[in-house]
Amino acid sequence: MQADILFDLDGTLIDSSPGILASFARVLAAHGLKPAVPLEASLIGPPLAVTLRQVSGLGDTGDEALLARLVEAFKADYDSAGYLTTEVFPGVAAGLAALATGGARLFVVTNKRLVPTRRILEALGLARYFSGIHTRDETDPPAPSKSAVTRRVIARYGIDAARACFVGDSDEDAAAARENGLAFIHAAYGYGAAGIAERPAAVLDGFDELPGLVDRLVAAAA
């Protein structure tokens, strides 16, 4: 299978919600705050500061110094303990192995910070399957969007958009694919179960279906 596949991480390859939500709860409690919204998996996906504004109740005009402290406290908690409870979605490990063995190049494109991303993928034994692992914070200044990271990955690895796709669970993932000319496969399990606004090229109900979906999309584009 001569194809390039870009993957979102949280909600697509891994279920990181238990660790993330536990870290949110501990950090808020340590700062004398109560969650302003229910701590649910649907919160996961946006950049950390955006989500912390929401769960802390600070909003767009809140205390910036406090927000900065919350961000750093979360990083310390999650990077040392929270990430350890991450689980792989069913079929992902075997599916990635099959795709890589079949000749596909695999990439991670995520809003998650680079440090926990690498730690999680190494701990779960998944890092070996990827030709590149890329995040918004790997550059200084950070990339403005997931779409920008996707564009950088396409240029760096010489990816042919006609033989590539983006697998993700959110509208942001769909936009990153559309803005870069990639077919979008909606991971409808996990965090993607609520659906997305735009119509994907294909819907993935279980990860074991992915090799067949990619083969059909690449053949159709040939």
Strands (E), the chain: 4-7, 14-15, 87-88, 105-110, 132-135, 164-168, 183-187, 202-204
* Coil vs helix vs strand at 68: helix
Residue tagged active-site, from 4, 8, 10, 137: 8
Pairing relationship of beta strands 4-7 and 14-15 according to DSSP bridges:
unpaired
User: What are the structure tokens assigned to 100, written together?
Assistant: 């890589």
Buried b / exposed e over 116-147, threshold 16 CB at 10 Å, is: bbebbbeeeebeebbeebbbbbeeeeebebbb
User: What are the structure tokens assigned to 33, written together?
Assistant: 């705050």
User: Measuring CA to CA, which residue among 146, 144, 133, 210 is closest to residue 180?
Assistant: 146
Tell me, rounded to whole angstroms, the distance of Cα 194 from its chain centroid.
16
User: What are the structure tokens assigned to 49, written together?
Assistant: 């500061």
Look up 169 and say whether it is catalytic.
no
State the catalytic residues: 8
